[in-house]
Amino acid sequence: MSKKFSSPKPKQAQIRAKKHLGQHFLHDENTAEKISNTLTLKNYVNVLEIGPGTGVLTKYLLQKDKNVKVIDLDKESIAYLQEDFKTEHPEIAREDFDIIEADFLKLDLHQLFKGEQVAITGNFPYNISSQIVFKAIENRAIVPEFTGMFQKEVAKRICEKEGSKTYGILSVLTQAYYDAEYLFTVSPGVFNPPPKVDSGVLRLIRKENFTLEVDETLFFTIVKTAFNQRRKTLRNSLKNLQLSEKLKEDSIFGKRPEQLSVQQFVELTQKIGGDANRNQ
C-alpha cells in the first residue's frame, strides 16, 4: 500500500503557477498516485519526472525502488522541493534523489544518465508537451517507457490509429517506435489553476524491435511532408522528393497520409529509398 500524504502546506500553496511556463499544479493525491502507477518499472533503474511543480507526483515516485531525478525550469518550484524534500522531509527522499534546475528540451539525456535506460513521466506543460515526446523519440535508445499527462486531445492524437482526422505526424512517429495506450481522463478540478480543458494520461512502451529497416531520416521527412499537406494525395504532397514517374504509378501514391498505417509509411519509405530513378 502506498503511503498517503497530507494536503498542501501553506508554503506550498503560495507557489504561483506561471502562465509562460504552462504550469497547472496537480493537487489531487489520488490522481498523482494513479500516474505514478502507470510505470511498469521493468528493466531499468532510472526515472525522470519533468515539471514536478510542488512535488505531488514526486512523493509517489520516490516510493518506488528506482533512482528518481526531477527537472524543472521554475526556480520557485526548485527551491520549494529542495527545502521540503531535502531539509524538512529527508525520510521521503532517497539518497540518489536529484533535483535539477534546467530545460528538459536542452538536456543531454545520454550524458545525464551515462547511457543507462530511463523512464520519463510527469504532468507535462501543455505548451511544450509535443516537443517532450519528440525528444523522447530522439532518445529512444535509452527511453524504454514514457508515461504522463497531456491535454486530452494531444494524448488521444498520439495514440490515434490511421483513418482518423486527428491521426498525424505525432501519431506515426511515436507509434513507429512505441506501443501507445491512452489510459484515463483527468478533469480540470484537480489542478491549480484549473485548465480550460480535460487532461489525458497515456503510456508508451518501446517496441522490442525499435530500429526501422529504412533510412530513418528519410522516414521522418516523408511523414512530416505528407501530413503538412494532408488533404493532398501522396503523389502530390511528396512531389518535391522528385520521384520517378514509374514509382508514382504505385497505388499507394493515390492515398492520403491519414489512410496509411505506420507499417505502410515504413514500406513507402523503402520504396522511395529504393527508387533508382529518383533525382534524375
Residue-level pLDDT, tens digit, the chain, 280 residues: 455 444 444 444 456 654 554 456 678 899 999 999 999 988 899 999 999 988 899 999 999 989 999 999 888 888 888 887 766 666 666 666 899 999 999 999 999 999 999 999 999 988 899 999 999 999 999 999 999 999 999 999 999 999 999 999 999 999 999 999 999 999 988 886 676 889 999 999 999 999 999 999 999 999 999 999 999 999 999 989 989 999 989 999 999 999 999 999 999 999 999 885 565 4
Mean of the per-residue pLDDT values of the chain? 87
Residue 269: per-residue pLDDT: 96
C-alpha dihedral (223, 224, 228, 231), degrees to nearest 10: 0
What is the Cβ-side half-sphere exposure of residue 165, based on CA atoms within 13 angstroms? 1
Residue 259: per-residue pLDDT: 97
In this prediction the pTM is 0.88
Please tell me the distance from the alpha carbon of residue 4 to that of residue 30, in angstroms, as a whole number: 9
Please tell me the distance from the alpha carbon of residue 90 to that of residue 87, in angstroms, as a whole number: 6
Q: Is 149 helix (H, G, I), strand (E, B) or coil?
A: strand
Residue 278: per-residue pLDDT: 60
- Residue 158 CB contacts under 8 Å (≥ 6 apart), including other chains: 133, 150, 170, 171, 174, 180, 202, 204
Q: List, in sequence order, the alpha helices (H) in 190-243.
A: 216-228, 234-237
Residue 227: per-residue pLDDT: 97
CA angle 259, 141, 107 (to 5 degrees): 105
pLDDT tens digits for range 83-112: 877 666 666 666 668 999 999 999 999 999
SS3 content of the chain, % helix, strand, coil (to 5): 40, 20, 40
272-275 long-range contacts, Cβ below 8 Å, gap at least 24?
272/218, 272/222, 272/238, 272/241, 272/243, 272/247, 273/214, 273/215, 273/218, 275/243, 275/244, 275/247
Q: Which domains does the chain have, with CATH numbers?
A: 10-206 (3.40.50.150), 216-273 (1.10.8.100)
Residue 269 DSSP one-character state: H
Residue 82, C-alpha cell as written in the block: 529542495
Closest CA to 102 of 111, 94, 92: 111
Residue 10: per-residue pLDDT: 41
